[in-house]
A and B are shown apart, each in its own frame.
Chain A
């Protein structure tokens, strides 16, 4: 039977580096023990009949522990040594909980970041949840902001969550002054923060790139949305050199990773892409490159009387759309026009410099851009 001691609160964290080695070791042991207890708490709240005994105080203490779990994540997610130790501890805890509770789902270190949410999911899905606890969670009154106090007031927590989610749904569609939308802007800002934290003071790109790879993998069918978030991230104002460095790393990753750049260019609107090109030279060059690649992929179809893409890959672009992309780019970055036209002219020359439609995609593109 899994029991969780909810009597005492987790000890206050101290800075490990400032302590002598013995104390540091003990401190680490306490941290790992607390990580274990947090995982056990989540298991108990989801599965146990012991919930019947819970009153308002027990509920409050449970959320206090969950908050502590989130604090551990925030504190140590970019500290590789401590993080690894915690991940190992969680593996052990998961093993024993799996043996004790049928249908148990593992808790990962990442899950600690949303401990309160997981606690809530566990409680609300537990058929043994007492009505008195429900009354507290769905009661009237907003929960007080108790960031720095021992006592966590969760009265009306769930009602507040429902209201907040509904307000988001009602208002987001109306906030049309954003190029990418409020949600993408928030996600983009979070991405920038995370990349900055991963890069650390040494501006190490590797960890940030691995993180982006894992995000792309995790997207699984929502890759276009990920592209929108990348655009939003690149459009966030650069408030510091660190943010500038993170945006650089993001652009480099975009170019190196097969398919993502092309997907970004075909999924997003011409005006949004032009906006990105305006802010970032690297992206501008990469973007022009993609447009030229699309053009060179095209063949003239006599049947349709138009240039069409030859490859049957995922990114479908029409000649019309290609033209729109160039025009939007020129509108936002006027100096680009001369450079691009010079290149197109050179390519047209290499094709034989004909002025007849259908012979050179470069010639026809130039004509379309200048009508």
Chain B
């Protein structure tokens, strides 16, 4: 066993001072400070544990690091810290005497509550679980954007707490409707760490949302996957490929990059032999976009689509030839082109109205000049949503700036909108 450098005295002093401060008051500032330092504390504790495991006895440990006893004695009584099971559970068996562990597990602070729960036949553990679930139910009713940040900060130590999973899921999958409703970076960091140690129990969509929110968490996930595949010595290349393709990460990458891939491909093909297939595929991928995407992702996809606006023209033509059951993805692509953010959630309504209004083919011939009329319908629909100005602004800003050869196309749009 290699000799780990013993944790230095200054560091123990630093953490001891933190424990004193954190143990003193319950306030949002304390919580903020804990969230900021929890990751560092966690790795410090791990370091301590490794060092102590290498020594012969706890008495020797205490002799070498006299402040350690004080530090641990305070740490175990700070709920912000002990709520993080990942960081503090490993310490239980090694560093705390039985008497302390007994107190931590069985002492009940709230005597008034126990005076009622005991005659009612509700055991303490069941009571705490019920309170926890009740608290989580409050959080999911929150509507204000400012609460989201506070809630995510409060959940920093709870990344690995199984009861917190529904709340964490809800926080991650909440649609990004407001800039202020941002999740705490420390929260995303904690989740990412827990995920890399396979200590996180979230739904697939919630994990996708985590990766959407935090690029670094995606990086960590990629590295973890690569590490697990590569360290699996004796595995054939075929098995490695299988392991990668079956991973959650692969699903995620397929889901989000297909749109980009297809539209990039479409942009590169000036005169493809079969435009319908490419457009239909692109439309279907856009249609399947997960609902919890961040704004920047949406605009990236939309911007790429704008780069190949001629495919939108093909989409309209295809709509004339397709039966009602095949129209869904194509209509979706069209509304997405005109109204990417779907603020006010009007897209569903627009799709229904477009279904009824789309120009039908006359006899067996496709009406080739349906382009301006149909776009009039689409633009009218979009303009009837809350903020009509929102529509032509992105079109004029992005398209005009980056596609000078599309100016004529774009100006006809803008003309349609400005009556």
Residues of A within 8 A of B (CB): 70, 73-74, 77, 110, 113-117, 120-121, 124-125, 127, 129, 134-135, 138-140, 142, 156, 158-175, 177-178, 182-183, 185-187, 190-191, 194, 211, 214-215, 218-220, 222, 225-226, 229
Query: Is there an interface contact between B138 and A70, defined as CB atoms closer than 8 Å?
Result: no
Q: Smallest CB-CB separation from B109: which chain A residue?
A: A169
Question: 25 A-B pairs, CB-CB below 8 angstroms?
Answer: A114-B124, A124-B102, A127-B98, A129-B98, A139-B93, A140-B89, A159-B85, A161-B125, A164-B161, A166-B82, A167-B83, A167-B164, A168-B128, A168-B132, A170-B79, A172-B135, A173-B26, A174-B151, A175-B139, A183-B131, A187-B113, A190-B120, A190-B122, A222-B111, A225-B113
The 8 A-B pairs at the shortest CB distance, nearest first, are namely: A113-B121, A222-B112, A124-B102, A114-B123, A169-B79, A166-B83, A166-B79, A138-B92
Query: Is there an interface contact between B93 and A185, defined as CB atoms closer than 8 Å?
Result: no
Distance to closest chain B CB from A357 (angstroms): 42
Query: Is there an interface contact between B121 and A170, defined as CB atoms closer than 8 Å?
Result: no
Which single member of B129, B131, B161 contacts A172 (CB below 8 Å)? B131
The answer to the question of B142 belonging to the interface, with a C-beta cut-off of 8 Å to chain A, is yes
Query: Is there an interface contact between A135 and B124, defined as CB atoms closer than 8 Å?
Result: no
Distance between Cα atoms of A315 and B129 in the complex (Å): 35
Query: Is there an interface contact between B128 and A110, defined as CB atoms closer than 8 Å?
Result: no
Query: Is there an interface contact between A226 and B116, defined as CB atoms closer than 8 Å?
Result: yes
Q: Chain B contact residues: over half helix, strand or loop, or mixed? A: helix
Distance to closest chain A CB from B145 (angstroms): 15
Distance between Cα atoms of A124 and B99 in the complex (Å): 8
Extra contacts, 14 of them, besides A162-B92, A170-B157, A173-B26 (Cβ < 8 A), are A127-B98, A162-B88, A164-B132, A166-B79, A168-B128, A170-B31, A170-B80, A175-B135, A182-B131, A187-B113, A187-B117, A218-B116, A220-B115, A222-B111
Distance to closest chain A CB from B134 (angstroms): 5
The answer to the question of B181 belonging to the interface, with a C-beta cut-off of 8 Å to chain A, is no
Query: Is there an interface contact between A116 and B113, defined as CB atoms closer than 8 Å?
Result: no
Q: Smallest CB-CB separation from B77: which chain A residue?
A: A166
Query: Is there an interface contact between A120 and B105, defined as CB atoms closer than 8 Å?
Result: yes
Q: Smallest CB-CB separation from A77: which chain B residue?
A: B121
> What chain B residues lie within 8 Å of A127 (beta carbons)?
98
Query: Is there an interface contact between A116 and B102, defined as CB atoms closer than 8 Å?
Result: no
> What chain B residues lie within 8 Å of A190 (beta carbons)?
116-117, 120, 122, 130
Q: How many residues of B contact A (CB 8 A)?
A: 58
> What chain A residues lie within 8 Å of B31 (beta carbons)?
170
Distance between Cα atoms of A321 and B210 in the complex (Å): 50
Query: Is there an interface contact between B125 and A117, defined as CB atoms closer than 8 Å?
Result: yes
Query: Is there an interface contact between B120 and A124, defined as CB atoms closer than 8 Å?
Result: no
> What chain A residues lie within 8 Å of B113 (beta carbons)?
183, 187, 225
Contact A124/B93 with A117-B106, A170-B157 known, Cβ cut-off 8 Å: no
Distance to closest chain B CB from A284 (angstroms): 26
Q: Smallest CB-CB separation from A222: which chain B residue?
A: B112
Query: Is there an interface contact between A171 and B120, defined as CB atoms closer than 8 Å?
Result: no
> What chain B residues lie within 8 Å of A115 (beta carbons)?
123
Which single member of A129, A138, A219 contacts B93 (CB below 8 Å)? A138
Query: Is there an interface contact between B83 and A163, defined as CB atoms closer than 8 Å?
Result: yes
